[in-house]
């Protein structure tokens, strides 16, 4: 029997976002400058908003032994969990730049989606995921379920 699952997301321009979300996008944009990406030349910045209001950032950190590197999203989420283990993550913004410094669309990889899902279950609260897309549009997912249907759990 065929079954269908739909996902939902919103699309906004930067100016349509509230100040809180614009600030998070700005933080992710700034974090692209700390990326260490000599192999891919793809510079990703992520910024996490905690329930305390604090912002924690991360960027991708590559390594000559390729799988040893880490994506910006997990760098930010693991840093937040290390420094603020009792805080919930309300939102996560992601921005990417190519080798010319131009902002390019970004959508989180599967491993990062799985880590977002576990953070949601740890805190028993959904997070909003803001992805900088093309033409200065921001895609917003209200919870990781829309990005990772059929998430792995045990």
Q: Active-site residues: which are they?
A: 73
Residue 109 touches ligand THU, criterion: CB under 6 A = yes
34 is a contact residue toward ligand THU (CB under 6 A)? no
By CB under 6 A, name the one of 25, 28, 29, 73 that touches ligand THU.
Answer: 73
Residue 5: both structure tokens together: 């699952």
Residue 33: both structure tokens together: 């400058």
One residue of 47, 55, 56, 71 binding ligand THU per CB under 6 A: 71
How do 128-132 and 89-97 pair as beta strands?
parallel
CA dist 130 to 62, 79, 153, Å?
23, 19, 24
- Structure token pair of residue 117: 């899902």
Window of 23-31, 38-46, 114-122, 135-143 that interacts with ligand THU by CB under 6 A: 38-46
Q: Does 108 bind ligand THU (CB under 6 A)?
A: yes
Residue 65 C-beta-side C-alpha neighbours within 13 Å: 1
Residue numbers at the binding site for ligand THU (CB under 6 A) = 37, 40, 42, 44, 60, 62, 69, 71-73, 106, 108-109, 112
């Amino acid at each position: 029997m065929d079954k269908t699952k739909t996902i939902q997301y919103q699309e906004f321009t930067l100016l349509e976002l509230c100040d809180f979300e614009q600030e998070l996008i700005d933080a992710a944009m700034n974090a692209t400058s700390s990326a260490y990406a000599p192999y891919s030349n793809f510079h990703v910045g992520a910024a996490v908003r905690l329930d305390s209001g604090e912002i924690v950032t991360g960027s991708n950190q590559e390594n000559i032994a390729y799988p040893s590197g880490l994506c910006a999203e997990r760098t930010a989420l693991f840093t937040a969990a290390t420094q603020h283990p009792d805080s919930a993550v309300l939102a996560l913004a992601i921005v990417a730049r190519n080798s010319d410094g131009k902002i390019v669309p970004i959508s989180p990889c599967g491993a990062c989606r799985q880590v977002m899902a576990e953070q949601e279950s740890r805190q028993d609260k959904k997070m909003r995921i803001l992805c900088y897309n093309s033409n200065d549009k921001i895609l917003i997912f209200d919870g990781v379920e829309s990005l990772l249907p059929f998430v792995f759990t045990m």
